[in-house]
Amino acid sequence: MKKNPTLLAAIVAGIVLVLAYPLLFTNPYYVHLAETILIYAILLYGLDIVVGYTGQVSLGHAGLFGIGSYATGILVLKLGAPWFVAVPASIAFAALFGAILALPALRVTGPYLAMVTLAFGTIVQILINEMTFLTEGPLGIQLQKPSVFGRELTEVEYYYAVAGFMLLSLLLVHRLLRSHVGRAFEALRDSPIASDCMGVSVYRYKVYAFVISAGFAGLAGSLYAYSEQYISPNSYNFELTILFLLAVIMGGRKSRLGSLIGATIVVMLPSLLSDIEVFRKIAVTAAVVAVIVAALMIAKRRTTVGRAAVPVLATLALAVVAYKLESMVDWRLTIFGLMTLFVVYYLQDGIVGFFKSLMGRGRSHVVASEGAGAADPFAGIRADAGDAKGELLRVEQVLMQFGGLKALNMVDLNIARGTVHGLIGPNGSGKSTMMNVLTGIYKPTAGAVVYAGQPIAGRTPSQIALGGIARTFQNVQLFGEMTALENVLVGLHHSFRATWLDVMLSTPRYRREELAARARAAAILDFIGLAELANEEARNLPYGKQRLLEIGRALALDPRLLLLDEPAAGLTAPDIRELMAIIRKIRDHGITIVLIEHHMDVVMSISDTVTVLDFGQKIAEGTPGKVQSDPRVIDAYLGGAAETTPPQPAAL
Ligand SMILES: Nc1ncnc2c1ncn2[C@@H]1O[C@H](COP(=O)(O)OP(=O)(O)OP(=O)(O)O)[C@@H](O)[C@H]1O
């Protein structure tokens, strides 16, 4: 993986700045302030995994931070534990609570999850307050800075220790998030259902995200306890959790630099907002920056005068108000609230996201894919071509009932190995329901599904996917914020044996697997004709290309059975011809295909067998020729929805 020289230079400059800081600002107050920023940054790296990457809300991180602090405080107070015991124990303890916090995230999302995590944070604070025998209750716990070789660290020495932990956390989180584990986190945010169907268990990765995130909160909490030398329950309140969330959003999701900026803002803001002179300078600087940025964006045609007017006028008004105000005391919260509103409304991708978009990055990165041609797109396929025409999948008397509606009514289906099996029927006849039953998304009310000789009842979608059944979706379910290459890499998740420890230590095993997966993903993109768009975000691809990318991602799973749900929907005639050629090539590699399609010419020209459903029942089955002339089929289509066309002779 190539290194970006500008990025490397920025990283080196950042490290030098962090290390040189105590030499530039010798006042202990400023050293302590910077220490707090670095500690918050550690927590925010972890919080960003949950909020930015997996897209979950957590209002429980102040609680986890408190658990880390109190684990250290109690171990030092009660057992006189040294820092090298207290710090790892705090990480482990917080991670354990992270697993508990993950439980509600497996059941609820959005506002409900916010409520549950908020309750968790509140309970932690109450428990810290009430369990006086351990925590000393409201009195709090006092402790010294850690000792090394019998000598207590000075403020500056402790700053360097914190800086070391921050840089280490940065490295570990960065490695993790760029690996298959990070891609799994991102995938489950963009489409949980597609993640499961790519063999990436949403359940497992949500728990991982919360546990890892909590581990970093525990580390930050432990360092904070030593830094403040005094901890009390009031420090870990609701406002702190909101502040953390705000820091991630303000700085910029999915960015380590964003976390650092966010930490700086939330630590500095209270002191900046308390001094009217400093606030005036900030307000004027913000107004000048807003005017310059707006002018640049209008000149580059990135925005219109109308859209730029509100933020520019708002910052100008803030500058004017700053000079009208006599003191900040009464206005601090109001100004803070307004700034929050401004960020949420105008800087949804945070400060880092905003500057990236200003520089035109993060939109399209069209570069040639690495390693295409070096790998075989079908390298891992468990081919069935040589296996005569045995049966790969058998559906026996499947009933799928939604309330009173029988979406599938006692349907039998036999799919022969190495064939293309068309599944057609008017709208609402039960085709997609069949796909969902085959991939474990729906559990049939009655009946059995036997795949490769094994019943698949009771298996989760990700287990079924890993067993070799891949699918595409009627409504495209790509991982929108990830590039085309990354989408395929999620499909290749199963090819990794490396654990998260391998990733964090960047072991040769992990690096070998990552390189192999990238070469294979590039080869798959080449096969489906998307090599040039490898680094384009999936949401920016044209619709036809998105459908092809879904097929590529499914192929990455090394399927024996590929279920295509209306792959030609919305495609132009040339795109459809390209699609048909691809489907034939996939079949020629021994992959069995089930094809749901409303384009009859497509189904009839490439299917070996066609099954017709109507009102959840199988009404016909056989070769395309036989099915097309079946009076029941013609009747079902002519009597069905107006937009469905009756089967026509093959045209393509
Ligand atoms: N989760 C669900 N809850 C309730 N009803 C459902 C559910 N899923 C499907 N149905 C119903 O089952 C019937 C079959 O739907 P299905 O999506 O399988 O049809 P289809 O043949 O794929 O149609 P189309 O060609 O329009 O996609 C429809 O009446 C649909 O409303």
Q: Judge contact between 563 and 469, C-beta under 8 A.
A: yes
Highest mean pLDDT among 172-176, 297-301, 630-634: 172-176
| pLDDT at residue 61 in the model | 93
pLDDT at residue 649 is higher than 90: no
- Asked whether the predicted pLDDT for residue 255 surpasses 70, the reply is yes
Question: Looking at residues 110-117, what average pLDDT do you find?
Answer: 87
* Any ligand 1 atom below 6 A from CB of 428: yes
Q: Ligand 1 mean position to 402 CA, how many Å?
A: 9
Q: What is the pLDDT of residue 386?
A: 46
- Which stretch of 30-34, 369-373, 506-510 has the lowest confidence by average pLDDT? 369-373
**Is 625 buried (19+), middle (13-18) or exposed (0-12) by CB count in 10 A?**
exposed
Residue 470 domain-assigned? Answer: yes
457 in a structural domain: yes
Residue 643 — very low, low, confident or very high, per pLDDT cuts 50/70/90?
Answer: very low
- Closest to 637 (Cα-Cα) out of 647, 624, 648: 647
Q: What is the pLDDT of residue 503?
A: 94
443 lines ligand 1 (CB under 6 A): no
Tell the residue number behind the tokens 């309970």, with chain if given.
Answer: 123
The per-residue pLDDT for range 225-237, each reduced to its tens digit, is 999 999 999 889 8
- 451 close to 560: Cβ distance less than 8 angstroms: no
Helices (H), 256-299: 256-272, 276-299
Strands 230-231 and 454-455: unpaired
Instruction: Give the pLDDT band of residue 276 (cuts 50, 70, 90).
Output: confident
Among 208, 223, 254, the domain-final residue is: 254
Q: How confident is the model at residue 27 (pLDDT cuts 50, 70, 90)?
A: confident
Could you list the beta-strand ranges (E) of 315-404: 391-402
Average pLDDT in the 575-595 region? 92
90 Cβ closer than 6 Å to some ligand 1 atom: no
Q: What is the pLDDT of residue 648?
A: 52
Cβ-proximal residues to 470 (8 Å cutoff; 6+ apart), any chain: 197, 198, 491, 554, 555, 557, 559, 561, 562, 563
Please state the length of the chain. Answer: 652
Residue 489 lies in a domain: yes
Residue in the structure block whose two tokens are 């991708």: 349
Which structure tokens are listed for 646? 């009756």
Percent residues over pLDDT 90 in the chain:
56
Is residue 463 within 6 Å of ligand 1 at its C-beta? no
* Burial of 114 from C-beta contacts in 10 A (0-12 / 13-18 / 19+): middle
| CA-nearest residue, atom 10 of ligand 1 | 407
Q: Verify whether ligand 1 is closer than 6 Å to residue 432 (CB atom).
A: yes
Out of 150-154, 197-201, 634-638, least confident range:
634-638
Do the domain assignments include residue 14? no
149-193 tens-digit pLDDT: 888 899 999 999 999 999 999 999 999 999 999 999 999 999 999
**pLDDT, mean of residues 425-437:** 92
User: How is residue 493 annotated by DSSP?
Assistant: G
Alpha-carbon distances, residue 507 vs 129, 164, 167 (angstroms): 44, 21, 19
* pLDDT for residue 369 is more than 50: no
Least confident stretch, 123-127, 266-270, 498-502 = 266-270
d(CA 243, CA 437): 44
Q: Which amino acid is at 331?
A: W
Q: Given 223, 254, 285, which residue is the final one in a domain?
A: 254
* Rounded mean pLDDT, 607-627: 92
Task: Give the structural domain span for 44.
Answer: 21-254
Return the structure tokens found at 365.
Answer: 């990165």
CATH of residue 553's domain is 3.40.50.300
Give me the residues paired with residue 617 across strands. 614
Distance 562 CA to ligand 1 centre (A): 20
Provide Rg for the chain, Cα atoms: 29
Nearest CA to ligand 1 atom 29: 428
Distances (CA, A) of 99 to 58, 103, 201, 213, 545: 13, 7, 16, 10, 39
610 within some domain = yes
Whether the pLDDT of residue 363 is over 60: the answer is no
Question: What tens digit of pLDDT does each residue of 556-579 get?
Answer: 999 999 999 999 988 888 889 989
Confidence (pLDDT) at 364: 40
Q: How confident is the model at residue 650, as a pLDDT? A: 43
Task: Compute, in angstroms, the gap from residue 404 CA to the centroid of ligand 1.
Answer: 13
pLDDT of residue 366: 37
Q: What's at 328, amino acid-wise?
A: M
Q: What sign does the CA torsion over 248, 250, 252, 255 have? A: negative
Best of 193, 395, 424, 432 for a ligand 1 pocket test (most atoms within 8 Å of beta carbon): 432
Tell me: pLDDT of 87 over 50: yes
Q: Which of 208-212, 269-273, 396-400 has the lowest mean pLDDT?
A: 269-273
Average pLDDT score over residue span 387-399: 82
Contact 478, 546 (CB under 8 A): yes
Cα-to-chain-centroid distance, residue 596: 29
Q: Which residue has the tokens 């006028």?
A: 313
Predicted local distance difference test score (pLDDT) of residue 646: 55
Mean predicted lDDT score pLDDT of the chain: 87
Report yes or no on 319 lying in a domain: no
pLDDT given at position 242: 86
75 & 223 share domain: yes
**Which atom of ligand 1 is found nearest the CA of 598?**
25
Choosing from 254, 277, 295, the residue where a domain stops is 254
CA 1 to chain centre: 21
* The predicted structure's pLDDT at residue 390: 83
Pairing verdict, β 446-451 and 561-565:
unpaired
pLDDT at 88 over 60: yes
- Please report where in the chains the tokens 């880390």 appear, as a residue: 68
Judge if the beta carbon of residue 474 lies within 6 A of ligand 1: yes
Look at the block and give the residue holding tokens 């302590």. Answer: 32
Between CA 61 and CA 509 the distance in angstroms is 33
DSSP letters, 174-224, are HHHHHSHHHHHHHHHHH-HHHHHHTT--HHHHHHHHHHHHHHHHHHHHHHH
Q: What is the mean pLDDT of residues 305-325?
A: 85
Residue 269 binned pLDDT confidence (cut-offs 50, 70, 90): confident
Number of domains comprising the chain: 2
pLDDT score recorded for residue 385:
46
Q: Give residue 599 CA to ligand 1 midpoint distance, Å.
A: 19
pLDDT of res. 638 = 61
Give the ipTM: 0.96
- Statement: residue 277 has pLDDT above 80: yes
Summarize pLDDT for 466-478 with one digit per residue, the tens. Answer: 999 999 999 999 9
Mean pLDDT, range 326-332, rounded to an integer: 73
Which residue, judged by its Cα, is nearest atom 18 of ligand 1?
A: 430
Listed in sequence order, the residues at least 6 apart from 592 whose beta carbon sits closer than 8 Å to its beta carbon are 384, 392, 393, 415, 416, 417, 418, 419, 420, 421, 560, 561, 562
Give residue 303's pLDDT band: very low, low, confident or very high (50, 70, 90): confident
Query: Which residues in 242-278 are b (16+ Cβ under 10 Å) and which e?
Result: ebbbbbbbbbbbbbbbbbbbbbbbbbebeeebeebee
